[in-house]
Structure 1
Amino acid sequence: MARFTPLTYCTGVPCALLLLFFSLSLFSSCKEHADAASADRKAKSGEPPIVDVLVASPRPIKNEIEANGSVVANEYVELHPEVSGRIVYLNVPEGAHVAKGTVIARINDADLQATLAKSKAQLDLFQKTEERERKLLEINGINQADYDLAVSNINSTKADIDYTQAQLDKTVIRAPFDGVVGLRQVSPGAYVTPANIIATVQQLDKTKVDFTIPEQYSYVVRKGALVDVQLDALKNARRKGLIVATEPQINLSSRNLKVRALLEDGAGHPGAFVKVFINAGVDKRAIMVPTNCIIPEDRNNQVILVKDGRARVVNVETGLREASSIEIVKGVNPGDTVIVTGVLFARPDAPVHIRNVKTGEDENTPTAANDK
């Protein structure tokens, strides 16, 4: 019987893979120890950390508010039966356009039809009785009370007919306006109640957008103003929307104001997510810094400046936000040097080594810096 010794097994592929794995692990471990030792030497020697800085200067920014919203149909309704019963007729052309008044469904009304026929027969009898008693009253053949009873029977029966007819009208479900029918939710012959949805009808020739903005920006929203609407499915295309109304009351839980705008081209699927961009006023110039250089605290936001070659921590107030930068409203003046990289390594009142300097006008163009 052949026996496999360790030497024989190691001549195969598995041994080669193991040797490669151990070699890489040993190299990585050695590199980590070397980096740690280098960091320890720098810390012990007091060598200042290397940072990149930005010279603060005002640059033009677009004063634009971005909000999230949804597309809403101009008219939308869920068709429910008003009475309970079995469906005897169903006409739901899914996805098709229907005109106002089109019959969508009918509920079994045999009992109501019988009641209506009975009331009409009684009315005919009461009317003939009233005619006879009126002639008798003219010759004092009956008293006034008997004639009044005959008239009361006629009026009561007419009221019963009107009531039954109203119940019959409830058994017919019609389209309340011109629109597109949604998917059918019931089948012919099904027993339905007012809680059941037969289908939906939406008017899509005009579509609206509902969105919310924080209450502090309510001053920029006014009826008749235009906004830019970007559908999520078409990220690079913006459409115009006309503000038609605002909710009178601000939401008590979110403190947001609900706004409704009408899409000018009318295109859009109800329920779709959109982004709305509102011009908050004249474009201005402001000091913008990268968001990663902001140090958040419980009460204040902070940035680290470089003054006389040393790090200085200052409190700042922030304003508008862009994709990767934020406005500094207070705390940083034009010409100040703000640390943008190496923020975590800078210590208050400790020296720093500036590697690159960027300007506020062009943050992507570094310039050489003189060590201080």
Structure 2
Amino acid sequence: MQRLKKPVTIFFKGLFFATLLTACKSKKTDDKAAPKQNAPVVVDVIIGEAQPITNVIEANGTVIAKEFVELHPEVSGRLTYLNFPEGKNIGQGTVVARINDADLRAQIGKSKVQLELAEKTIERYKPLLDINGINQADYDAVVNQVNGYKADIAYTQALIDKTVIRAPFSGVAGLRQVSPGAYVTPATVIATLQQTNEVKIDFTLPDTYGNAIKVGALVDVELDGATTKRSKAMITAVEPGANTDTRNLKVRAVLKEGASNPGAFVKVFVDAGNNRSSIKIPTNCMIPDDKNNQVVVVKNGKANFVNVETGVREANTVEITKGLNVGDSIVVTGVLFARPKGAVKVRSVKKLADLNKTAEGN
């Protein structure tokens, strides 16, 4: 037993030192892997300053002709005459087309013969009625026939008038949709006619801007998407009720400068007024929340999350109406890494104009 005691003691001592060495190595490894808990987040900021805010609303519009009509025949029949100079101006009242009316004219001729006979009968009955040679009822029946034939002639003449298609106003004729000799009905479109010397622009705006729309006010219009040149148009009318599906108001303006083809797409810019000075920040530095929008502000080297209220939005910026003060350091990069009351390190102070140029370049 004495011989075994010393080797056992040596064994336990070796095991102790091995365990201690393993623990030390593990601790060193953990220390290397552990992140630095107090390392500040590197951010870039802009200094909040009051800038002019122009409340201009951009809307999509459509150019329409001053007057536009699709020419339809009022009666069915075969086209016997078609005088429609495509793409040229025609005057009001110009005969555009005629429909075969031979049967109607024959009907008028028949009614006129019957009318003539009835009128002669009245001439013969009148002296007889004066001497009581005939009954009053017989005389009245002939008079009624005369009136009936006159009514038939007037009705048939109205039908003949409907076979003639005239231009309701002066304008530019469109492309013909039919040819002479074609059988047409009231559903057939012969061609279009429109006035292009003065065009109108229809556009829609949310009903919340109803107070900003004034009849007689001027708006800017971009007629060509390839250029930024703007023309003037004057608001002439506003739809009295908003669309129940979109809650938008339909507005109509008359173009005062420039020219455009009906049906073209344009952009309309309406000045809603209330021009003022407010703090503007890049839209990508806001943190959307379920209830509020937040912005990170650096104070005393700490990140402070501030609830803000927004106003007018532009392409890359947004107006802050409440929550920020002039002189605040607003985080614009590194927003996602900032933590409430966490340490931050300001790397540089950016200019809002430079950030806008960068965003537009991307």
Task: Mark yes or no: TM-score above 0.5.
Answer: yes
Q: Deviations over 1:243-266 (max 9, x none)?
A: 111111111111111111111136
| 1:10 match | none
**Distance in structure 1 (CA, Å) of the matches to 2:263 and 2:291:** 39
| 1:252 match | 244
Kept after mapping to 1: 8 A contact 2:282/2:332: yes
Kept after mapping to 1: 8 A contact 2:286/2:295: yes
Shift of 1:355: 1.4
- Provide the aligned C-alpha RMSD in A: 2.0
**Distance in structure 1 (CA, Å) of the matches to 2:292 and 2:34:** 29
Amino acid at match of 2:294: Q
DSSP-derived class of the 2:250 partner: strand
Q: Does 1:279 align with 2:271?
A: yes
| TM-score under structure 2 length normalisation | 0.85
Q: Does 1:218 align with 2:210?
A: yes
Residue of structure 1 aligned with 2:119, choices 115, 127, 146: 127
Q: Give the structure with higher Rg (CA).
A: 2
Gaps of 5+ in 1: 1-40, 366-372
**Distance in structure 2 (CA, Å) of the matches to 1:233 and 1:178:** 31
Q: Deviations over 1:153-180 (max 9, x none)?
A: 0111111111111111111111100001
**Distance in structure 2 (CA, Å) of the matches to 1:59 and 1:308:** 25
Amino acid at match of 1:120: K
| 1:270 match | 262
| TM-score under structure 1 length normalisation | 0.82
DSSP-derived class of the 2:165 partner: strand
Q: What is the total number of aligned residue pairs between the two structures?
A: 324
Shift of 1:42: 11
Amino acid at match of 1:45: K
Gaps of 5+ in 2: 1-31, 357-362
Q: Does 1:324 align with 2:316?
A: yes
DSSP-derived class of the 1:271 partner: coil
**Distance in structure 2 (CA, Å) of the matches to 1:184 and 1:177:** 17
Amino acid at match of 2:253: A
Residue of structure 1 aligned with 2:63, choices 58, 71, 94: 71
Residue of structure 1 aligned with 2:306, choices 314, 326, 335: 314
Q: Does 1:48 align with 2:25?
A: no
Amino acid at match of 2:70: E
Amino acid at match of 1:79: L
Kept after mapping to 1: 8 A contact 2:231/2:258: no
**Distance in structure 2 (CA, Å) of the matches to 1:210 and 1:299:** 36
**Distance in structure 2 (CA, Å) of the matches to 1:194 and 1:137:** 50
Kept after mapping to 2: 8 A contact 1:204/1:266: no
Shift of 1:63: 2.3
Shift of 1:234: 5.4
Structure 1 segments of 4+ aligned residues over 4 angstroms from their partners: 362-365
Kept after mapping to 2: 8 A contact 1:287/1:329: yes
Kept after mapping to 2: 8 A contact 1:54/1:363: no
**Distance in structure 2 (CA, Å) of the matches to 1:109 and 1:235:** 54
Shift of 1:363: 4.9
